[in-house]
Amino acid sequence: MKIDNVPLDLLLPNMLSATVETLKIFFYTLIFSIPLGFVVALMRGSRFKIISVPTRIYQLIFRGTPLMLQLFFFMYGPYYIFGASFDRFLACILAFVINYAAYFGEIFRGGIGAIPKGQYEAAKVLGYTKFQTFMRIILPQVVKHVIPATGNELMTLVKDTSLAQVIAVNELFDVATGAGSKYFSTIPIIVAAIFYLVMNTVVELVFKLIEKKLDYYRS
């Protein structure tokens, strides 16, 4: 089957295969950047400047510079600094994880800061340790607060995976642009847009479900 001289029977399998790479970038980033984001949030909130100040600088750098430049840095920087370089896919994951952890750290810091101080004091009176207070009382409420912002950030992540093409990672948008150039058509780009829309629709539905499940944590 052809549309605008584009053989869809050849294009779609290639795009589905590239979508697997896109999903790998998404899930690896999700798995590693969210826990790292919590660590960043706690370090940013530390009363010790030797911890909080470097964390602020890290967040400023990775939130204040384009992800595309960070991808180039992790791909080519180690070679010029250490004389060795990362595998392309590993460099891509490192850039995404460290970049998104900086954003998640700020989201989680806001969620932690939204919890009234009185809850910490009440937990102390009841004999909870700091760890118990955070895990049993604070964390569930923080999760409730940050779900909308986290969902929005993950929808952005789905779209940002297209940037991996700048270091020649064979993801969805790379295949679409290559096919568009080969067949002199915008059809592959349109198909890619539909793929991204479907993935983001799934992300939105999942987070709507999570919000509904956590609705009993009311502010």
Its pTM stands at: 0.89
How far is it, in rounded angstroms, from Cα 97 to Cα 94? Answer: 5
| Helix runs in the chain, H state only | 8-44, 49-64, 67-82, 88-113, 117-125, 130-132, 139-160, 172-183, 187-213
pLDDT (average), residues 198-211: 94
Contacts for 211 with CB less than 8 Å, ≥ 6 apart: 147, 148
49-58: long-range contacts, CB 8 A cutoff, minimum separation 24: 55/105, 58/102
pLDDT for the residue numbered 97: 97
The band of 103, judged by pLDDT with boundaries at 50, 70 and 90, is very high
pLDDT at 192: 92
pLDDT at position 138 is 82
Say how many Å lie between the first and final Cα of the chain, rounded. 54
Phi, psi of 48 (to 5 degrees): -90, 115
Q: Which residue has the higher pLDDT, 165 or 137?
A: 165
pLDDT at 145 over 70: yes
The DSSP secondary-structure symbol of 86 reads: -
Instruction: Please give the average per-residue pLDDT across 68-88, as a whole number.
Output: 91
pLDDT over threshold 70, residue 22: yes
| The predicted structure's pLDDT at residue 3 | 65
Widest Cα–Cα separation across the chain: 73
- Looking at per-residue pLDDT, the higher value among 157 and 132 belongs to 157
Rounded to 5 degrees, what angle do the CA atoms 191, 195, 200 make? Answer: 145
- Residue whose C-alpha is closest to residue 164's, from 85, 112, 99, 216: 99
Which of 41-45, 114-118, 212-216 has maximum average pLDDT? 41-45
**Does the pLDDT value for residue 143 go beyond 70?**
yes
| Strongest mean pLDDT among 26-40, 116-130, 134-148 | 26-40
Binned at pLDDT 50, 70 and 90, residue 100 comes out as very high
User: Binning pLDDT at 50, 70 and 90, where does residue 216 land?
Assistant: low
Structural tokens at position 15: 């795009």
75 contacts: CB under 8 Å, gap ≥ 6: 85, 86, 88, 91, 92, 95, 167
Q: Is the pLDDT of residue 218 over 70?
A: no
| Higher-confidence position of 215 and 84 | 84
pLDDT band of 170, cuts 50, 70, 90: confident
Q: Which domains does the chain show, CATH number per domain?
A: 2-213 (1.10.3720.10)
Across the chain, what does the average pLDDT equal? 89
